Amino acid sequence: MLLTTQLLGVFLRVLSNLVLNELFQPFLILKLFCLINALLIPLMTTNQPNLLLKVPIGLLQIPAIAKNKIKTGSRKIKLSLVIPTYNERENIPTIVHKLTQLLNDVIPNAYELIVVDDNSPDLTWEVAQKIKPEYPQLQVMLREKERGLSTAVIRGWQIAGGEILGVIDADLQHPPETILKLLAEMERGADLAVASRHIEEGGVSEWNIIRRLLSRGAQVLGLIILPGVVGRVSDPMSGYFMVRREVLAGKTLNPKGYKILIEVLGRGNIRCLGEVGYVFQERLEGKSKVAWKQYIEYLQHLLTLRLAKWPVGRFTRFGIVGFSGVFVDIAIFYLLRKTIGLGLTRSAVLSAEVGIINNFLWNDLWTFRDISRSQRGWPKRVKRLLKFNLICLTALIFNLLIVNLLFNLFGVNEYLAKLIAIATVTLWNFWINMKLSWRVTQVDK
Ligand code: GDD
Ligand code: MN
């Protein structure tokens, strides 16, 4: 009896399990299906014709390893070319078509075109989306919150899969054929390859004198404020170039306005540089977005980079030392006048000289100690002192010149004039001394 009930129990349990399993099977399959979908959908996003690229948020940093490696699977991307657009609906099909033709010949399947549109009123992004089925290498990003050419390019690069990152205008003013020359430069080992209007085979088509002057003026301004950056290429204003991912990886970029190349030059670790000539074409469709705002932003950008490269610690020490010199100068002047009774000019000259020597010693032992340590010995130290002295003298002349100019010519209040002169001369003094007396070739510290 007991055995039969036990057997019956087992039988019932097996039966119920079977029934329940059968019942729940569809749910189980559904669950599994959902799981697979959840895993696969992100992997397939780029292949879905109607999906837009996700806009990265946060800092403008390029990852060292391409984020979308997973998405592209085994397909290795060499070049990611960003095409920034704002109201370029007439141009986008042509530029995409031409670039595809050119790149399919040399690196088929190993490139991607990334259109980054800032929510253009003419719906450029939609036009780009529509032609996507014809161009499997094309992807589109639509930015609704941020705006601006430079950040658009970086947002595109952030999701790029290539080892080489590039940019080209959408309006066909950058001849698409030049892309092959840029690529060739990169393959020859360049870290940065720039299409330039100012070397052989380069030029502008029909620019009027004003536009030429403005463009060159901007370049000269850049050379004054950031010689080491702007002076490295013949066309620092170019918006047509390629750069190796690794030279930008991990750097926080902070560009303003239009001139993304300045940012790349200023912050990237670029050793090997290539340039190819191109003629800046006339715009056939659409309008240029350059306005006065871009010139102001350019200046702001230059100054931000300048500040980022300025050796703040060293300059602060130099300032403190300079301040101490004022007190030494006055104290010695007082001593010479009151205790020895020396004449006014002699006391002033002597006390100024003691002040200069005081500044020199502190700068040598403290401000520039790392450099003076590597240039030991008294002869060298005396040489540095003489240079320092000479530079201080030129600074004095400079000081007088500025005060006079501001006060007599521009009618600036004399104390304000003096203040401006002191500030300018301090900067000059510091910079020239760093370059000549304590020669710092590497000023990144
Ligand atoms: N996403 C996005 N957002 N794209 C923009 C924006 C923006 O705010 N502003 C302009 N663009 C796109 C344009 O649609 C075009 O594809 C490209 O950036 C260049 O803009 P243009 O307005 O045509 O500039 P340009 O012809 O005056 O200046 C060009 O020449 C300079 C050399 O003098 C640009 O190529 C510069 O990059 C280049 O340095
Ligand atoms: Mn243009």
Atom number in ligand 1 closest to CA 116: 1
CA distance 81 to 179: 10
CA distance 283 to 279: 12
Q: Which of 143, 154, 160, 124 is nearest to 46 (CA)?
A: 160
Q: Whose CA is nearest to atom 25 of ligand 1?
A: 288
**Which two structure tokens, joined as six digits, stand for 259?**
């001139």
Quickly count: other Cβ atoms within 10 Å of residue 3's Cβ.
7
Amino acid identity at 56: P
pLDDT tens digit sequence for 133-150:
999 999 999 999 999 999
Q: Whose CA is nearest to atom 19 of ligand 1?
A: 169
Looking at residue 66, what is its pLDDT? 81
Per DSSP, the residues of 316-331 read: HHHHHHHHHHHHHHHH
Looking at residue 47, what is its pLDDT? 45
Looking at residue 199, what is its pLDDT? 92
For ligand 1, is residue 171 a contact (CB within 6 Å)?
Answer: yes
83, containing H or E segment: strand 79-85
CA 84 to ligand 1 center in whole angstroms: 7
- Which one of the ligands is nearest to 289 CA? 1
List residues bridging with 276 in a β-sheet.
Answer: 195
Place of tokens 């030494």: 328
With beta carbons less than 8 A apart as the criterion, state whether 53 and 159 touch: yes
Atom number in ligand 1 closest to CA 239: 37
For ligand 1, is residue 258 a contact (CB within 6 Å)?
Answer: yes
Residue 16 clears pLDDT 50, i.e. is over it:
yes
Residue 442 clears pLDDT 50, i.e. is over it:
no
Q: What percent of the chain has pLDDT over 90?
A: 68
Looking at residue 35, what is its pLDDT? 53
pLDDT tens digit sequence for 41-90:
444 444 455 789 999 999 999 999 886 654 555 578 999 999 999 999 99
CA distance 356 to 2: 112
Residue 440 clears pLDDT 50, i.e. is over it:
yes
Which sign does the torsion angle of CA 53, 54, 60, 64 carry? negative
Atom number in ligand 1 closest to CA 237: 39
pLDDT tens digit sequence for 296-330:
999 999 999 988 888 889 999 999 999 999 999 99
Residue 413 clears pLDDT 50, i.e. is over it:
yes
List residues bridging with 203 in a β-sheet.
Answer: 279
Confidence of residue 7 (pLDDT cuts 50, 70, 90): low
Average pLDDT over residues 182-188: 98
Residue 94 clears pLDDT 60, i.e. is over it:
yes
Q: Which of 153, 84, 185 is nearest to 125 (CA)?
A: 84
For ligand 1, is residue 288 a contact (CB within 6 Å)?
Answer: yes
CA distance 323 to 234: 41
Quickly count: other Cβ atoms within 10 Å of residue 14's Cβ.
10
Amino acid identity at 147: R
Confidence of residue 31 (pLDDT cuts 50, 70, 90): low
Q: Whose CA is nearest to atom 9 of ligand 1?
A: 149
With beta carbons less than 8 A apart as the criterion, state whether 65 and 100 touch: no
Tell me which residues have their CB within 5 A of the ion that is ligand 2: 171, 173, 288
User: Where would I find the beta strands (DSSP E) of 131-191?
Assistant: 138-142, 164-167
Among the residue ranges 231-235, 287-291, 402-406, 430-434, the one predicted with the least confidence is 287-291
pLDDT tens digit sequence for 147-160:
999 999 999 999 99
Looking at residue 210, what is its pLDDT? 87
Per DSSP, the residues of 4-69 read: HHHHHHHHHHHHHHHHHHHHHHHHHHHHHHHHHHHHHHHHHGGGSTTPPBPPP-SS-B--SS-TTH
pLDDT tens digit sequence for 331-348:
999 999 999 999 999 999
For ligand 1, is residue 148 a contact (CB within 6 Å)?
Answer: yes
Amino acid identity at 19: V
For ligand 1, is residue 170 a contact (CB within 6 Å)?
Answer: yes
Looking at residue 287, what is its pLDDT? 86
Atom number in ligand 1 closest to CA 118: 1
Q: What residues have CB less than 8 Å from 181, skipping those under 6 apart?
A: 195, 276
Kindly list the strands in the beta sheet with 241-244, ordered across the sheet, starting from the edge strand earlier in the chain. Answer: 138-142, 111-117, 79-85, 164-167, 241-244, 192-196, 273-277
What is the rounded (10 degree) CA torsion for 27, 29, 31, 35?
Answer: -170
CA 141 to ligand 1 center in whole angstroms: 17
For ligand 1, is residue 118 a contact (CB within 6 Å)?
Answer: yes
CA distance 161 to 417: 55
For ligand 1, is residue 85 a contact (CB within 6 Å)?
Answer: yes
Average pLDDT over residues 193-212: 89
CA 252 to ligand 2 center in whole angstroms: 27
Residue 177 clears pLDDT 80, i.e. is over it:
yes
Atom number in ligand 1 closest to CA 86: 14
For ligand 1, is residue 88 a contact (CB within 6 Å)?
Answer: yes
Q: Give the distance, in angstroms, between the CA of residue 84 and the centroid of all CA atoms in the same chain.
A: 16
Among 10-14, 126-130, 346-350, 435-439, the range with the most confident prediction by mean pLDDT is 126-130
CA 145 to ligand 2 center in whole angstroms: 23
Atom number in ligand 1 closest to CA 171: 16
Residue 17 clears pLDDT 70, i.e. is over it:
no
Residue with the bigger pLDDT between 10 and 162: it is 162
CA 125 to ligand 2 center in whole angstroms: 18
Residue with the bigger pLDDT between 418 and 8: it is 418
For ligand 1, is residue 116 a contact (CB within 6 Å)?
Answer: yes
Atom number in ligand 1 closest to CA 260: 37
CA 175 to ligand 1 center in whole angstroms: 14
For ligand 1, is residue 238 a contact (CB within 6 Å)?
Answer: yes
Q: Whose CA is nearest to atom 24 of ligand 1?
A: 288
Q: What residues have CB less than 8 Å from 80, skipping those under 6 apart?
A: 111, 112, 114, 156, 157, 160, 161, 162, 164, 165, 166
Confidence of residue 119 (pLDDT cuts 50, 70, 90): very high
Average pLDDT over residues 413-421: 91
Angle at 439 between CA 371 and CA 430, to 5 degrees: 95
Amino acid identity at 318: F
Helices 124-131 & 92-106, crossing angle to 10 degrees? Answer: 40
Atom number in ligand 1 closest to CA 167: 37
Among the residue ranges 179-188, 209-218, 345-354, the one predicted with the least confidence is 209-218
Confidence of residue 15 (pLDDT cuts 50, 70, 90): low
Residue 399 clears pLDDT 60, i.e. is over it:
yes
